[in-house]
Structure formats: structure tokens, C-alpha cells
């Protein structure tokens, strides 16, 4: 915790759930390593909570799920989402997906989670989050966003941006992040 | 549904969705800090409430709930 900015430290301490606390700490360390965030004032938030770097041309997005935290950094607006693949939640699907998306999923957990990360990364890149109704658009046809998805260790990760791109990624251990 | 019945119902939804013992949950339980900040679980919970007791919670509002009691207050206001 000593490595974090005061605001991030305060936020991490509010989590009583150990996994959530670890993810919050990791997010802070990722921002330090890849964005050189050492003070709270370096990040500003929109009314919907989308973070931006103050005085820096790069965009970024954070997510965590399962055993990993991820950060995406890009010269253009971007959103990222990661999920650990489990059983597709039918109740969540009702509000998240369009009819054609639900048909495409067709009972496949892998497709469910891939599509979920595609939609959530778009909501995050757009900046309105869930104020943009997730089942008001389909990622399968006529979508204004480009996405790139990959799988790692039973997790699925997607980035979304307005123009075509290809994810280049690297894996970093918690020890490396802490400089141990 | 009176307030007590509604509280019990919402707690049962939280217990199922967040895979918790209902007895460990209360109106003061902080959702993100004590349970999970997963958006998938929150969307699932909102969908369950809509399906089971026919009360619609806008997804942007769902993200603002701090405690289980906040969810009960909103649902009660719409019954």
C-alpha cells in the first residue's frame, strides 16, 4: 500500500473483500508503471467516471476480473474489459445482449464472455458506461466500434476503439509490479 | 410486500447472485467493498429484481448503490 498514491490507498482500504482489495492495489501499480501516475491529481474523471490523464495525450482504461488486472494504453480513445470464463449468466444476458447476440451465443460460455467483454469495453471507451444501454446496439452488425479479443488462462480480454487496431500485450507479475 | 418481506427477498437475490450466505448479509452490507464490484453480477441482480418482482432499475442507477439497503429503498419506492 505504501507504493500507492493517497487516494488509491484510501480506496483500496475500503475493500473488505480481499480479492477486490488486491485488484484495486494492482490497478494503482499498473497506473504507476505504465502511466507514471505518482500523484492523485494526474487523473481526472468525467461525470460518468471515465478517467483521463491530465496533460498527457495518451488514453487508458482499466479492468479486473478473475485472477488478473489489466490496463490498456493507446494514443486514441480506448476501453478494456477482462472476465474469467465461467457459466454464462442468463439473467445478465437479458439486459446486456440484443436478440441477435443472444442467438449467436447459442449456449456457449466462451461466446457469452467474449461478447460481454466486447460490449463492456465499448461502454467504457464510449465513456457513458451503462448510461449507454448495452442492448441498444449489437456488436455483430452495424457497430461503430472496432474490437480486438484474445484469450489467456481461461480469461477473455477485449479492447475497443473507434478505428482498427491490434492488441499488443505483455504479462507482468505482481512481484515485478512492486519491484521485488 | 411489506418492508420486512421486501428486505428478505432482496437479500435472497443478493445471496444467490453474489454466492453468499443470506445470514451474512444485511441492509448495511456495502456492495462493492464487501461483496464484489463486478458489473456482471450487478446487471444480473437488476435483471433478477425486474424478473421476480417486476420493478425496473435503470442500469446507470444500479452502479450508484452503496448498500443493499439502498437497493431496497429504490425498489420500495417503485412498488
What local confidence, expressed as pLDDT, does residue A38 receive? 85
Set of chain A residues whose Cβ sits within 8 Å of the Cβ of B34:
16-17
Chain B interface mutation, best of A130, A131, A136, A158, highest count of B Cβ atoms under 10 Å: A130
Which pTM was predicted? Answer: 0.93
- Average pLDDT over chain B reads 95
What 3-state DSSP class applies to A78? Answer: coil
**Cβ pairs bridging A and B (under 8 Å):** 54
**Average pLDDT of the segment spanning A157-175:** 93
Class of residue B40 by CB neighbours under 10 A (exposed 0-12, middle 13-18, buried 19+): buried
Highest-confidence segment of A42-56, A144-158, A164-178: A144-158
Q: How far apart are CA A1 and CA A77, in angstroms?
A: 29
- What cell was used for A94? 437479458
Set of chain B residues whose Cβ sits within 8 Å of the Cβ of A116:
40
Q: For A110-122, how does the pLDDT look when each residue is reduced to its tens digit (9 = 90+)?
A: 999 999 999 999 9
Is A17 within 8 Å of B38 when comparing Cβ atoms?
no
Q: For A44-97, how does the pLDDT look when each residue is reduced to its tens digit (9 = 90+)?
A: 989 888 999 988 789 999 999 988 999 999 999 999 999 999 999 999 999 999
CB B32 within 8 A of CB B70: no
Residue B35 is nearest to which of A17, A120, A129, comparing CB atoms? A17
What local confidence, expressed as pLDDT, does residue A57 receive? 83
Set of chain B residues whose Cβ sits within 8 Å of the Cβ of A94:
47, 50-51
**Average pLDDT of the segment spanning A155-168:** 95
pLDDT at B18 over 90: yes
What local confidence, expressed as pLDDT, does residue A180 receive? 65
Separation in Å, CA B79 to CA A99, B7, B15, B53, B63: 29, 13, 22, 9, 21
Q: For A5-48, how does the pLDDT look when each residue is reduced to its tens digit (9 = 90+)?
A: 888 888 888 888 888 888 889 989 999 999 988 888 898 989 88
Amino acid at each position: 500500500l505504501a507504493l500507492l498514491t493517497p487516494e488509491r490507498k484510501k480506496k483500496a482500504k475500503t475493500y473488505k473483500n480481499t480479492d477486490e482489495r488486491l485488484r484495486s492495489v494492482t490497478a494503482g501499480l499498473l497506473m504507476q508503471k505504465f502511466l507514471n501516475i505518482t500523484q492523485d491529481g494526474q487523473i481526472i474523471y468525467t461525470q460518468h467516471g471515465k478517467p483521463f490523464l491530465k496533460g498527457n495525450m495518451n488514453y487508458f482504461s482499466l479492468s479486473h476480473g478473475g485472477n488478473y488486472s489489466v490496463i490498456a494504453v493507446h494514443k486514441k480513445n480506448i476501453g478494456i474489459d477482462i472476465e474469467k470464463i465461467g457459466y454464462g449468466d442468463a439473467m445478465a444476458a437479458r439486459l446486456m445482449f440484443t436478440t441477435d447476440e443472444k442467438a449467436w451465443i447459442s449456449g456457449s460460455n466462451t461466446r457469452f464472455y467474449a461478447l460481454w467483454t466486447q460490449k463492456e469495453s465499448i461502454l467504457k471507451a464510449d465513456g457513458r458506461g451503462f448510461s449507454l444501454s448495452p442492448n441498444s446496439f449489437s456488436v455483430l452488425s452495424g457497430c461503430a466500434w472496432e474490437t480486438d479479443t484474445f484469450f489467456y488462462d481461461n480469461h477473455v480480454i477485449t479492447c475497443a476503439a473507434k478505428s482498427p487496431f491490434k492488441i499488443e500485450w505483455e504479462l507482468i507479475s505482481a512481484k515485478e509490479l512492486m519491484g521485488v | 410486500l411489506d418492508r420486512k418481506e421486501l428486505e428478505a427477498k432482496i437479500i435472497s437475490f443478493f445471496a444467490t447472485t453474489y454466492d453468499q450466505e443470506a445470514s451474512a448479509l444485511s441492509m448495511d452490507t456495502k456492495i462493492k467493498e464487501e461483496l464484489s464490484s463486478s458489473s456482471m453480477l450487478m446487471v444480473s441482480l437488476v435483471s433478477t429484481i425486474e424478473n421476480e418482482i417486476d420493478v425496473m432499475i435503470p442500469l446507470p442507477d444500479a452502479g450508484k448503490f452503496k448498500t443493499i439497503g439502498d437497493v431496497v429503498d429504490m425498489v420500495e419506492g417503485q412498488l
